[in-house]
């Protein structure tokens, strides 16, 4: 009996993904991967193969063919997406086993965790709300057009440690200003509640006031036209704010790094941090633990009685 073709399986996979409420970011990434895989098969003269005809060798050659053109993280994403598709096919009884399991995933790059300093955060919050320029030889400062939104965005990212894609997916109904928490729909279709503090609530409230009457299903943080603000646009905005503030290498995920590092530095629990950040693996949280321990060593040298008393 013939098995469905790749294109037919993709239709079924995305129906299943919708029923499992996979995040928009994940679905978008998977669509790009599947499109590139289908294009690669076509360039090799293989066309729209039946799902049962796709082998581990096809996947290996696809990954190898893109190794020089994309980052290691993207290669890992390709492997993850194709494995998710084949796992779905196994669950549907279309395959006996997931052939991608026979392909060694690329080793991802491990980027250094670099948190913002307090001075950098203060500079960015100011640059988020206000623009300073020179007119007629005088320095003029005025509120940025989307200043309220930008401040609310930075405060939420810093105060909760949520991912940029998670923030972009929040609706008005997901933000409980009274009880100071947001309901986040994260990776792996997992929901979690993350708290924030009163100053962040104040920034969010002031931003929402600028938008007039809102429905519960409206986006919590919107683009300039009030529609969905995707993480690419948010990233560009954060970089621009960083440039105005004189803070190099500013991007949304650094706020997550800063939250995790500061949480541990101030004595917060590692296990609680893992839940707040939505890490499925303790190993991911350990990156923050290692950084906090390094910083603790530096502080110990500064404040140790042995050093200060010159014993």
CATH code of the domain containing 28: 1.10.150.130
In a domain, 112, yes or no: no
Same domain, 124 and 61: no
297 part of a folded domain: no
In this structure, the answer to whether residues 142 and 246 fall within a common structural domain is yes
Q: Which residue has the higher pLDDT, 204 or 309?
A: 204
Per the model's pLDDT, the better-predicted residue between 301 and 170 turns out to be: 170
Residues 6 or more apart in contact with residue 266 via CB below 8 angstroms: none
Beta carbons of 157 and 167 less than 8 angstroms apart: yes
The residue-averaged pLDDT of 249-257 equals: 92
| Closest by CA position to 206, among listed 121, 119, 128, 116 | 128
142 and 241 both lie in a single domain: yes
Question: Same structural domain for residues 90 and 209?
Answer: no
Same domain, 147 and 202: yes
In angstroms, rounded to a whole number, what is the distance separating the alpha carbons of residues 55 and 68? 22
Q: Are residues 156 and 226 in the same domain?
A: yes
Of the residues 68, 102, 136, which one is the last residue of a structural domain?
Answer: 102
Please compute, for residue 271, the number of CA atoms within 13 A of its CA located in the half-sphere on the CB side.
Answer: 0
Give bridge partners of residue 130 from the DSSP assignment.
143
95-122: average pLDDT: 86
Residue 241's domain is classified under what CATH number? 1.10.443.10
Q: Are 172 and 182 in contact (CB under 8 A)?
A: no
Last residue in a domain, options 73, 102, 131: 102
In this structure, is residue 84 part of a structural domain? yes
Do residue 145 and residue 230 come from a single domain?
yes
Whole-number average pLDDT of the chain: 86
Same domain? For 45 and 164 the reply is: no
| Chain centre distance of CA 236 | 14
Domain end position, chosen among 42, 69, 102:
102
Whether residue 82 is found in the same domain as residue 131:
no
Closest CA to 81 of 273, 154, 70: 70
Predicted local distance difference test score (pLDDT) of residue 311:
47
- What's the rounded mean pLDDT across residues 222-234? 91
Same domain, 47 and 166: no
Domain that holds residue 172: 118-255
Q: Is residue 308 part of a domain?
A: no
Locus of tokens 């890992």: 76
What does R_g of the chain's alpha carbons equal in angstroms? 23
98 and 172 together in one domain: no
| 177, part of any domain | yes
Q: Which residue has the higher pLDDT, 20 or 46?
A: 46
Q: Is residue 42 in some structural domain?
A: yes
Instruction: Identify the pLDDT of residue 135.
Output: 76
**216 lies in the same domain as 164:** yes
Number of structural domains the chain divides into = 2
Min mean pLDDT across 9-18, 22-31, 146-155, 284-293 is at 284-293
């Amino acid at each position: 009996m013939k098995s469905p073709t790749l294109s037919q399986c993709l239709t079924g996979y995305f129906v299943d993904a919708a029923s499992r409420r996979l995040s928009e970011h994940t679905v978008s990434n998977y669509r790009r991967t599947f499109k590139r895989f289908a294009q690669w098969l076509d360039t090799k003269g293989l066309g729209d193969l039946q799902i049962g005809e796709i082998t581990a060798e096809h996947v290996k050659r696809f990954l190898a063919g893109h190794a020089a053109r994309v980052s290691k993280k993207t290669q890992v994403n390709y492997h993850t997406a194709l494995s998710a598709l084949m796992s779905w096919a196994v669950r549907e009884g279309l395959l006996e086993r997931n052939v991608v399991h026979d392909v060694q995933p690329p080793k991802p790059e491990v980027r250094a965790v670099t948190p913002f300093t307090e001075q950098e955060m203060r500079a960015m919050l100011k640059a988020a709300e206000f623009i300073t320029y020179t007119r007629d030889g005088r320095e003029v400062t005025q509120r940025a057009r989307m200043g309220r939104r930008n401040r609310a965005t930075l405060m939420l990212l810093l105060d909760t440690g949520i991912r940029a894609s998670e923030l972009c997916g929040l609706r008005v109904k997901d933000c409980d200003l009274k009880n100071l928490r947001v309901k986040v729909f994260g990776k792996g279709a997992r929901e979690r509640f993350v708290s924030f503090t009163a100053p962040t609530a104040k920034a969010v409230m002031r931003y929402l006031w600028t938008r007039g009457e809102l429905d519960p299903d409206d986006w919590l943080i919107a683009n300039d036209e009030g529609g969905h603000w995707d993480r690419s646009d948010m990233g560009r905005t954060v970089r621009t704010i960083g440039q105005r503030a004189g803070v190099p290498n500013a991007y949304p995920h650094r706020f997550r790094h800063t939250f995790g590092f500061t949480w541990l530095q101030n004595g917060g629990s590692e296990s609680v941090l893992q839940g707040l950040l939505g890490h499925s693996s303790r190993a991911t949280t350990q990156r923050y633990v290692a950084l906090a321990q390094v910083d603790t060593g530096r502080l110990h040298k500064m404040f140790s009685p042995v050093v200060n008393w010159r014993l």
